[in-house]
Structure formats: C-alpha cells, structure tokens
A and B are shown apart, each in its own frame.
Chain A
Amino acid sequence: MRIVIAEDTAILRAGLAELLGVRGHEVVGAVGDGDSLLTAVDEYRPDVAVVDIRMPPTRTDEGLRAALQLRERRPEVGVLLFSQYIETRYATELLADRSAGVGYLLKERVADIDEFVDALDRIAAGGTALDPEVVTQLFGASRRTHSLDALTPREREVLALMAEGRTNAAIADTLVVTGRAVEKHVANIFTKLDLPPSDTDHRRVLAVLRYLQS
C-alpha cells in the first residue's frame, strides 16, 4: 500500500514511517503541515493518507481541515486521522456525509502495530476505522443510553465493534463466536434500535453514529 504521512513532530513522523515500512507498506511521502499534505497526495497518489490533527500553523485542527479537503478533492484516497487525545466532534465532522475510507485513531494505537495496520487495511478497502475510545465516548455522551439498555451485554459489545467499523468476520474473531451468531446479533440490534437497514459495513457505522448522536 502506498501511504503519505502528515505529522509535524519529526520523531513521530520518522517512527511511523519505519513501522509502516517494516510491515511492507510504501511510505511515498512524509510532510509536516496541511498544505504540503494536499500537494503530496496530488503528486504521489497514495492509497491512504495518515494525518495528524494538530499541525502548524495554529496547531488546533489543521489536519482535520486538510483531511476534509482531501475527501472532497480525491475521494478515492483513504484518510486515517489520528490525534493524541479524543475529540468526538472531529470524528463526527469527518464522518459527516459518508464514512467510506475514513478512520480516526488515537496516536497511542500505533503501539499496537497489528491494530493499526488492520485499520489501514480497512480504510484502504473502503471501510471505516474508529478508535474504541472514540466509540466508548460516543456511547457515554449519547442521550440514548436508556434505549441501549434494551440490548443484551453481548449485543452491546457487537454494537461497539460495529461502530468501530469492523466487519462481521472481524467481530466474530474478536468475540470468539461464529459468523452466524454475529449476524443474528446484528439483526436483533437493528430491530431493537429501529435502525435503517445498511448494506455495507461502513454505512452501518454511520447509522449507529447517527443514532447515538440524535
């Protein structure tokens, strides 16, 4: 996979490049701010852009702005945003109209290289990758907590993993159950929460998030 990294802290940029390289990905560009990111994507045509939210000049949400511009200009490029702390509002903005090929992870997630690379793969394939921390916060901040009580604990686990953007197969692996069991849980969840039917994994992420935030 061809990857462009946008991260202003030099040691992290170098570290990420090395990690991704070790896992067999090609880091074709590593930049330090939003404008350079757009130029690099235009030039190198990567599959995924890994973008830090906090970048110069104001170090607030340049990365997010650049990522949204990228989504508009080059929708075929997947975007993985990462930051050192959770801001659920960023996740919402990023997923605003569509959730295909988009992800939001905590920087510390890179410490678990397998998860990180899995997230990248999901995004490159057009899926979604949300950090479990983000999902937990969204659940906690949701006003729908009492309707979530209608779900069994197992169903809530499945819902959380669904919100992270995982496929049924991945959920089955994580919970150590069969694929059919997962499908049944998903169907029950959609019925109990009265969610609109979704044909793809990333669309159901949107459905769940919209439900949580309404």
Chain B
Amino acid sequence: MDSRTWRSALYALVYLPLGAVAGYLLLLLLAAGTLLSLTFLGLPLIALVLTCWRQFGRLHRRLADVLLGERIAAPHPLRPATGRLDRIGRRLGDVVAWRAVAYQIIKVPQSILAATVCLAPLAFGLWSATYPIWWSVVPENSGRHKHGFPIDGFYFDTWPRAFLICVAGLLVLAAWPWLLRGVLVLDRLLARGLLGPVRMSQRISDLEQTRALAVEDAAATVRKIERDLHDGAQARLVSLAMSLTLVQDTLRRDDVDLTRARTLVDTAHQGAKEAIAELRDLVRGIHPPVLDQGLEPALRTLTARSTPPAMVRFDLPTRPSPAIETIGYFCAAELLTNATRHSCAKHIDLTAKMTGGLLVLRIVDDGDGGADPAGGTGLAGLRARVRTVDGRLHIDSPPGGPTIVTVALPAHPAGG
C-alpha cells in the first residue's frame, strides 16, 4: 500500500471521466466532422479536433509520467505550414494526432476496465473485512438466520464463519495492489505504443535539425574566413603598402636617408613574410592540401606538430569518402587542441580505423578529464557536426581520469 499503489489508483480513477467521457466526446466530434465534410466546415473541424487531441496526448503523457512513473518521450512537433489550406492538410495528416485519437478511443473500454478493477476489489475487500462488525450489529430476523450472504444455502451465521469472510476480505485487499498493477500494464503498453515518438517522422525531424545545423555551420565558417582575411592578411598587406609608401617618400628626397630606407624595407619585408604565413595558416584551416592524399598522411602531419607528443595508429585499408575524411580530420584537430589546451595531458593516443563501414577515430589523453559537452569547449558543436552525417561522438571523461573520445562516422554517407 505504498504511494505507488495510491498513484496508480488515482490514475485509474482519473481516467474514468478522462477516458470514457472524453472518448465519447471525441467520437461525437469526429462523427459531426465526418457528416459536415459534405460542407466546407467538416474538414477544418476534424483538423481542429486532431490539434486538440495532439495536445491531449501531451496531457496523457504527463499523467502517465506523474502517476505511473512511465516516462514517454515526446513525439516530434508539428512542422510549420505555409498558408491555411496547407495548415489544415498537415493537421489532417498528422500521424501523432491520429495515434492520440486511437489511444483515446481504446481508452474508453480500457478505462472502464481499469476503474472497475480498481474499485470493485477495494469495495469488496473493505466490505468483507468489516463484515463481522456489522453482522453482529444487524438485528436478528425472526425465523431467519443471522447471515451476511449465502453461498449455496451455506449461511455465514456464526462467528468463525464471519471471520472467514473477514479473512477473505483481507486477502482481497492484500491482493488489490497487484490486481491494479496488472490491469495498468495494459495502460502502459497502450501509452508507450501510441503516445511515443513515431519512428519515421522522428527521422525526418532529426534530419531537419541536423540540416539546419549544417547550414548554420557553413555560414559561420564563411564569416570566420572573411573575418580572418580582413583582420589578418588584408591588414598586413595594407600595412605593407604603408611601409613601402614611406620608403618611396624617403627615396624621393634629395637627402636620402639610406639607413632609414633600409630599416623601412626590412620592416616591409618582414610584414610580407608574416602575411604569407598567415595566409598559409588560413588555408590550412579551410582545407589542408595534404588531406587530398588521405586521412593518414594528414593526421600524421597534424600530430607531428603537437605537444605533448601524440602516438598515432592507423588501420585504413580503404579511403572513406572525401567529405568524411574532411569531417574526421577537423574533428581530430579540434579534439587534439582540446586535449592540449584544456587538459594538461602528457600523452595523447590517436587511432583511426575502419570497422564495419564506419570510420572510427579514438583520441585518448591522460589529462585531467572532466570533458563535458555542455562545458563550452566546442564538444557540443562537434557532436552536432558529426550528427549531420549520422555519425556519433562518445565522450568518456571522468574527472581526474583519462579522457577517451570516440568519433564514429559512416565511411560513405547515405544519399552521397
């Protein structure tokens, strides 16, 4: 008789009106809508009913969560529509709403069953358990036995028999929570089956999300390139032009100051070299040329310049598609930077291998650990980027312990 049982009982009782009454209301509305579909009011009415029942689905999930402890993930939201006709059409075709409607209709008999199983044994049990009390209170009828209720002419009219009924009642009361739980298993199955996410629409929703991420990512990358060029290379070249202007000025005079001219030319020369180096870094950040030769040479070059020293192992019998190589390379680069910058690691271990059509990169460092996607080290962004190709990013980073980050990417993305 714990809180779980009482909450289950509450659930069963709440659903008597919520299940049966709401279900009849739903059927009435749908019938009205179907009849009216001969006019222009019918379909919008059905669409409205479906919209309401989608929200009802949310209520049912909430109740299941609070009262039954049954956590069901929310299905995907309704996608925005273009124009009124499209809006009605979307709502009529909303699989989530129709499933909620089906749930409601099945709940009509189911809720009655559950409420019956909830109340009847409880009532019987209480009545039977207290039978001896009011059996002794009922006055003797003339000519009749003092009895409670007969079974085949067997009257429970003596104290021991009264106690028999009492015991029966207590047994029923003891069994009641289990009966309740049993009947509510049907409810759980129903809720899970009809109120949860729909696999295909979930996939579509997933794809839409990752596509939006990919588009934003691309825009951000382009902005970053523009900024880097503007602030870096362009500024240096303007500065170089200024230095050369000063040189021109110096050489144009009648009393040419050669020392000054030499200094200026040296500065200009230095500026030119720095501009070249910056451009080289920028290009490497966009697409390192070595990546064209494959992931192995690219990662070797990447780790060659890393401190702390990184050990690399490769098992790449075939090359994944170029896009995957690029994503894999930049993932490895960012994870390497993280390991170097944030974790004070002394050893880094990088493995790249192909298993079962997947490119798997594994980076292990013996640093401080505690890497968290929510921590703002770009891990969340990395995971999002990896998701756009249906890849997975797994982080195992206990605080203090070694950090192991695994990136799994399909070697040849679907649809590519």
Q: Which residues of A contact B (CB under 8 A)?
A: 9, 11-12, 15-16, 18-19, 22, 54, 59, 84, 107-108, 110-113
Contact = CB atoms under 8 A, between A and B. Distances in A.
B238 A110 contact: yes
B245 interface: yes
B241 interface: yes
B234 interface: yes
A75 B243 CA distance: 33
Nearest to A54: B230
B343 interface: no
B239 A11 contact: yes
Given A9-B231, A84-B230, A18 B246 contact: yes
A138 to B, nearest CB: 23
B282 interface: no
Contacts of A110: 238, 241-242, 245
Nearest to A8: B231
B241 A111 contact: yes
Contacts of B246: 18-19, 22
B244 A12 contact: no
Contacts of B239: 11-12, 15
Across the A-B interface, the 3 shortest Cβ-Cβ residue pairs: A111-B241, A15-B242, A11-B239
24 contacts: A9-B231, A11-B235, A11-B271, A12-B238, A12-B239, A12-B242, A15-B243, A19-B242, A19-B246, A59-B227, A84-B230, A84-B235, A84-B238, A107-B238, A110-B242, A111-B238, A111-B241, A111-B242, A111-B244, A111-B245, A112-B245, A113-B245, A113-B248, A113-B249
Contacts of B91: none
Interface string B241-265: 1111110110000000000000000
From B236, B241, B249, name the one whose CB has the most chain A CB atoms within 10 angstroms.
B241
B249 A22 contact: yes
Contacts of A59: 227
A119 B242 CA distance: 16
A58 B262 CA distance: 39
Nearest to A16: B242
Interface in B84-141: none
Contacts of A107: 238
Contacts of A9: 231, 235
Contacts of B244: 111
Contacts of A18: 242, 246
Contacts of A15: 238-239, 242-243
Contacts of B243: 15
A11 B245 contact: no
Contacts of B238: 12, 15, 84, 107-108, 110-111
